[in-house]
Structure 1
């Protein structure tokens, strides 16, 4: 198999969708299909099980992916390192984050980025909920990790890096705090705090739903101008907030409790990029983030 064929196979193994694979690799879906069929003829067995609606790896495909992926990553890093040395490229990449766990992923990527791009440094900064997309839109950041969904002119959503189970942050003396889990239906019994600056309707529906899945109205609590106000308001008994479950590891404080939500969608975090595109080091940094996130959540 040639290196390009390996890249097509591994990308399809990740995306499990011919159209998205073609889009990522800037080729046509028919080219992806042709290469995969060629590989399957070579091995004498299918690598993917395909229906009109789904694509999944066969056991042989899973085995081939697991064998090829580490080698492909080493080859790619070696080529990037050689190219960086050859160009003598230098620069500074600015990356933003909204949560501590996003910051930790960025810092791990920063360490790993020094190897293939020795002339580049990475500077990270927290992005305020009061101005969630301003630094990226103003060109102060090359990349940002933030909560999805994002529908903002001038910003292109990149790959989702991880999907977090959610929890309800609520006053420690609330009756629901004594349970092991809560349901989305329980939100009809508690006011939900809101953040002033979220304008996108899909984002509001995900983070601050107005009704439970059964259609019951969810009471609205006070609005907050920043995340740092939320735990204070919750501890004071003014409302609750839907958060990532791991927020309990970072934001625990007297007066609040975190109870896992047993239903509803995950809270997704992904890459945001300027709509006018990203240069090669930034794209390489995105790929590195994906690799590290996949390893962490494997």
Structure 2
């Protein structure tokens, strides 16, 4: 019995529908029927009971499925492992994210690990004040960064997720009692500045240089890390937009997080060195694409 015939038999035993089996295996329904008939002639007994409405396994079919299933899984696992090795899908892929953003890409990481169990995935933190440093030094293979990224030596992949911003202020700050603020309010209060090599165009996607009316947004203390920023904000001398992921993970008595009605929404995508692209990076990007497609297929508001 050919491996493809075993696959057809096991799939039909699971689906119990010739049409769905053909669709799942990307073959014609006639090919499924032909394969099953050949197997039944070879074995000398019926494997399925067919009526105009149903398809059911016969006792012989149940027996055969039980014996074939484990062996087939072992064979396909061995082939997948060999294929991964041949394509370079082994080793370690180091992914950099800001703070707790690895939680936002959990579905992608799960899919990648499922597809490439021989690959070790390592997570490292990226500092917002230096988004490209660990990428360019080779400490991380891929960095999940907010857009835009306009660096000639870096390649940007498909968008992964988005993040609204809230305004972090001290608990006793005049804005702390507000239900919401606007970007125009930032013209009246010094904001955190980044102490690092982040390009201005990247930082201004997070914290613009001016309010919507064109007033300059005053800069206060410069910090390197998010924890430094939150400590400075807690003194009441500065405020700063922060992502909702960071805010949700850092509920503190000395801070308040206020919704920004017209604040930027950060869009995140993977970036990697153009000269350092590998099969693992391409496999990770494919997991992003497939994970998003699967999410859209499950969307209850979808018309399909």
TM bucket (normalised to shorter chain) is 0.5 to 0.7
What residue in structure 2 maps to residue 93 of structure 1? Answer: 93
Query: For 2:230, what is the secondary structure of its paired residue?
Result: helix
Structure 1 residues 198 and 167, CA, compared in 2 at 3 Å: closer, same or farther? farther
**CA–CA distance in structure 1, aligned partners of residues 223 and 149 of structure 2:** 20
What residue in structure 2 maps to residue 17 of structure 1? Answer: none
What residue in structure 1 maps to residue 164 of structure 2? Answer: 165
Query: For 1:242, what is the secondary structure of its paired residue?
Result: strand
- Could you tell me how far 1:201 is from its partner in structure 2? 2.5
Query: For 1:164, what is the secondary structure of its paired residue?
Result: strand
**CA–CA distance in structure 2, aligned partners of residues 235 and 149 of structure 1:** 30
- Could you tell me how far 1:88 is from its partner in structure 2? 5.3
State whether residues 129 and 196 of structure 2, in contact with CA within 8 Å, keep that contact through their aligned partners in structure 1.
yes
State whether residues 160 and 270 of structure 1, in contact with CA within 8 Å, keep that contact through their aligned partners in structure 2.
yes
Deviations 1:119-144 (A, max 9, x none): 21111111234543222112232211
Moved more, 112-121 or 125-134: 125-134
Query: For 1:159, what is the secondary structure of its paired residue?
Result: coil
Structure 1 residues 291 and 81, CA, compared in 2 at 3 Å: closer, same or farther? farther
Aligned length: 222
What residue in structure 2 maps to residue 258 of structure 1? Answer: 257
State whether residues 106 and 124 of structure 1, in contact with CA within 8 Å, keep that contact through their aligned partners in structure 2.
no
- Could you tell me how far 1:259 is from its partner in structure 2? 0.7
Structure 1 residues 131 and 188, CA, compared in 2 at 3 Å: closer, same or farther? closer
- Could you tell me how far 1:84 is from its partner in structure 2? 3.8
Structure 1 residues 165 and 151, CA, compared in 2 at 3 Å: closer, same or farther? same
Deviations 1:165-219 (A, max 9, x none): 2111111112222122110111112111111114422113222322101011212
Query: For 1:160, what is the secondary structure of its paired residue?
Result: coil
State whether residues 97 and 125 of structure 1, in contact with CA within 8 Å, keep that contact through their aligned partners in structure 2.
yes
State whether residues 188 and 217 of structure 1, in contact with CA within 8 Å, keep that contact through their aligned partners in structure 2.
yes
Residues 274-285 of structure 1 mapped to structure 2, 5 A cutoff: 274-276=273-275, 278-285=277-284
Moved more, 232-241 or 288-297: 288-297
Aligned-CA RMSD value = 2.9
Deviations 1:56-110 (A, max 9, x none): xxxxxxxxxxxxxxx79xxxxx9x978742335121111111120x212455444
Residues 180-219 of structure 1 mapped to structure 2, 5 A cutoff: 180-219=179-218
State whether residues 105 and 289 of structure 1, in contact with CA within 8 Å, keep that contact through their aligned partners in structure 2.
no
Moved more, 151-160 or 80-89: 80-89
**CA–CA distance in structure 2, aligned partners of residues 204 and 128 of structure 1:** 12
**CA–CA distance in structure 1, aligned partners of residues 289 and 246 of structure 2:** 21
**CA–CA distance in structure 2, aligned partners of residues 121 and 159 of structure 1:** 22
Larger radius of gyration: 2
State whether residues 104 and 161 of structure 2, in contact with CA within 8 Å, keep that contact through their aligned partners in structure 1.
no
Residues 214-293 of structure 1 mapped to structure 2, 5 A cutoff: 214-276=213-275, 278-292=277-291
